[in-house]
Amino acid sequence: MKVSYITNLYPDPENKTGGIFVHRRLECVQRLTHVDFNVYCLPCYDFSPLLEFIFQCVRKPYKELPINLKMRNVTYRYLHFKRATSVFLMQKLNPCFNSTIEAYYARTLIDDFSLHSLDLMHAHGMYEVAAGNVAKLVSEKTGIPYVITLHGSDVNIVMRKRAATYVNTLERASKCIFVSNALLEKAKSFGYSGTNAVVIPNGYDPNIFCPLDKDATRKNLRVYRPNLKYVGFVGGLNEIKRADKLPSIFWEIHKRVPDVTFIVVGDGPLRKKVEQDTSGLNVVVTGRIPQEELAKWMNAMDIMVLPSRNEGYPTVVNEAQACGTIVVGSSNGGIPEAVGFEQCIVQEGRDFEERFADKVVELLTTNHDSLRNQVILKAKQFTWESIISRELEVYKEVLRTHSEPRKA
């Protein structure tokens, strides 16, 4: 079987943890299956001096990437689109203009010789320039079937801007994989039928995320103090993750349990605010780190908090639980599905931060060894090996269905 992965989510030389759940998936496909695959990434880069200047003021500009990047035997091929100022403005004024860029990527893929022997395309992401839309355009010209995986913000945020186009792409796919039932229901709210849908979450690597001795790990990380409790957060420091309210939650916890070290793993536009508003607390902010280091920090935590305003399916939940760390999450999106324990979910609503802190304190101040053992067992269902075996079954079903008309 030969598969082309087309993705909005990918690493690059400056951020090798980008699209990490796509990368780990591909490593597992390569190691455990006989699938022959290649990977196409869809970056825009800005060659306008004006865009360079504007973006330097607000964020890092999209830079031109090399043609290929090889990471642990997985090779990523970047299909570059040079974005001028006029194109950027058109994208912002009219999201449907992204279809012009998607058509460019589709033509580039169709011209690639490797498509001649291709069995299947698997698109990851339906973001502004949607991998799924590119796969649909290629399929219309070549007859090659395609599968799409929807990860979260592509449905929760972006789909509403191009609902008709996205629904058309999803309906025409051979299969649509959603990482949670909540995300599937959200897509249905935009008019998608769901008849070709299947729910398969992202997985985790049990060789990286596994229980370690907590005190020994804290000593190794130089954050150990006797009789101290450890509460952590892992994710982007942005409003969707409710990072703007992390300081409020931390202070509420501190009022009730003073001897707490707070660990914040991640980066984003709200990092400075989080650091400023937690001044006076014992807080460690690591920034963005490799998964091997992340597993150590997760093991150091007694409880990881996930108060997000929206989530597709937070992979960090299974990663933390695999380390034996209890996760307390909000009731939004796919968080309850990922957490799997009702007593660890805080309902959205009035006084959310206070109630969230109450739940964390309740778990911190009671013996939770039994729950810790339960979360470890629960997480074992979601290793990459088990997730890939389910995706392979989807591929086989698609190819069987696709071949039927040819036999008739």
Mapped to the 3 state alphabet, what secondary structure does 48-83 carry? CHHHHHHHHHHCCCCCCCCCEEEECCEEEEECCEEE
How far is the C-alpha of 27 from the C-alpha of 206, rounded, in Å? 13
Domain count, the chain: 2
Same domain, 230 and 318: yes
Compute the distance between CA of residue 84 and CA of residue 100 in angstroms, rounded to an integer: 13
**Shared domain check, 315 and 222:** yes
For residues 124-147, average pLDDT? 93
- Quick check: is 224 in a domain? yes
Which runs of consecutive H residues, i.e. helices, occur in 231-383? 246-256, 271-277, 291-300, 315-322, 335-339, 352-364, 369-379
Domain identity same for 179 and 231: no
What is the mean pLDDT of the segment spanning 300-314?
Answer: 94
Asked if residue 387 lies in contact with residue 201, where contact means CB atoms within 8 angstroms, the answer is yes
Flag whether 191 is in a domain. yes
Q: What percent of the chain has pLDDT over 70?
A: 88
Residues 168 and 236 in one domain: no
Q: Is residue 372, in this structure, part of any structural domain at all? A: yes
Q: State the pLDDT confidence band at 338, using cuts at 50, 70 and 90.
A: very high
> How far is it between the farthest Cα atoms of the chain?
73
Q: What number is the average pLDDT over the span 270-289? A: 94
The reported pLDDT for the residue numbered 408 is: 35
Give the model's confidence band at 203: pLDDT under 50 very low, under 70 low, under 90 confident, else very high: very high
List the domain range (segments joined by +) for residue 77: 2-203+384-407
Residues 42, 115: one domain?
yes
CB atoms closer than 10 angstroms to residue 300: 25
Say which CATH number the domain at 244 has.
3.40.50.2000
- Cβ-based neighbours of 329, under 8 Å, separated by 6 or more: 305, 306, 307, 308, 314, 317, 335, 336, 338, 339, 344, 345, 346
> What single string gives the DSSP state of each residue in 339-372?
H--GGGEE-SSTTHHHHHHHHHHHHHTS--HHHH
Q: Do residues 275 and 329 share a domain? A: yes
Do 248 and 174 share a domain, yes or no?
A: no
- Residue 290 sits in the same domain as residue 149: no
Report the pLDDT value the prediction gives residue 406, as an integer from 0 to 100: 45
Mean pLDDT, the chain, whole residue set: 88
User: Does residue 257 sit within a domain?
Assistant: yes
Q: Quick one: 196 and 130 in the same domain? A: yes
Structural domain contains residue 44: yes
pLDDT of residue 230: 97
Residue 355 lies in a domain: yes
At 134, the pLDDT band (50, 70, 90 cuts) reads: very high
**Are residues 131 and 156 located together in one domain of the fold?**
yes
Whether the pLDDT of residue 86 is over 90: the answer is no
The whole-number average pLDDT for the span 385-396 is 95
Q: What is the pLDDT of residue 115?
A: 67
Segment 119-139 shows an average pLDDT of: 93
Q: Based on the domain organization, do 242 and 271 belong to the same domain?
A: yes
Looking at the predicted structure, is the pLDDT value of residue 47 above 90? Answer: no
Query: What does the pLDDT read at residue 94?
Result: 59
User: Over the stretch 222-248, which tens digit does the pLDDT of each residue have?
Assistant: 999 999 999 999 999 999 999 999 999
- Does 209 fall in a domain? no
Predicted pLDDT of residue 46: 54
- Going by pLDDT thresholds of 50, 70 and 90, the confidence category of residue 7 is very high
Residue 153 sits in the same domain as residue 281: no
Q: Please give the structure tokens belonging to residue 62.
A: 């999209």
Evaluate the CA torsion angle 210, 213, 215, 220 in order and state its sign.
negative
- Indicate whether 29 pLDDT > 70: yes
8 A C-beta contact, residue 74 and residue 52? no
The first and second tokens of residue 134, run together, are 């590119």
208 is a domain residue:
no
